[in-house]
Structure 1
Amino acid sequence: MDELTGKALILGMSAIGAGLAMIAGIGPGVGQGFAAGKATEAVGNNREHGGKPATLVMLLGAAVAETSGIFSLVVAIVMLFANPLVTREGAFIVLGASALGAGLAMIAGMGPAIGQGYAAGKAAEAVGKRPKLQSSVVRTMLLGQAVAQTTGIYALIIALILLFVNVWA
Structure 2
Amino acid sequence: MENTNFVMIFLNWLMSFDRKALILAASAIGAGFAMIAGIGPGIGQGYAAGKGAEATSINPKTSKQAIMVMLIGAGIAETSGILALVVALILLFGNPLVGQSGSVLVIAASAIAAGISMIAGVGPGIGQGYAAGKGTESTGKRPKYQSTILRTMLLGQAVAQTTGIYALIVALVLMFSNPLLKLL
Shorter-chain TM band: over 0.9
Deviation at 1:167, TM superposition (A): 2.9
What SS is found at the alignment partner of 1:87? coil
Q: Alignment partner for residue 171 of structure 2, among 154, 159, 162?
A: 159
Q: Alignment partner for residue 29 of structure 2, among 16, 19, 36?
A: 16
1:5 aligns with 2:21: no
Partner of 2:112: 100
Task: Render the CA deviation track for 1:10-69: whole Å, top value 9, x for unaligned.
Answer: 100000000000000011100000000001100000012x20000000000001001000
CA distance in 1, matches of 2:140, 2:179: 52
Deviation at 1:6, TM superposition (A): 1.1
TM-score, normalised via structure 1 length: 0.96
Task: Render the CA deviation track for 1:86-129: whole Å, top value 9, x for unaligned.
Answer: 01223000000000000000000010010000000000000000
Gap runs ≥5 in structure 1: none
What SS is found at the alignment partner of 2:60? coil
Partner of 1:53: 65
CA-atom RMSD, angstroms?
A: 0.8
Is 1:91–1:168's contact at 8 Å kept on the other side of the alignment? no
Give the % identical residues.
64
CA distance in 2, matches of 1:162, 1:113: 23
Segment of structure 1 superposing worse, 3-12 or 105-114 = 3-12
Equivalent residues, number: 166
Matches within 5 A, 1:15-164: 15-48=28-61, 50-164=62-176
Gap runs ≥5 in structure 2: 1-15
Displacement over 3 Å in runs of 4+: none
TM-score, normalised via structure 2 length: 0.88
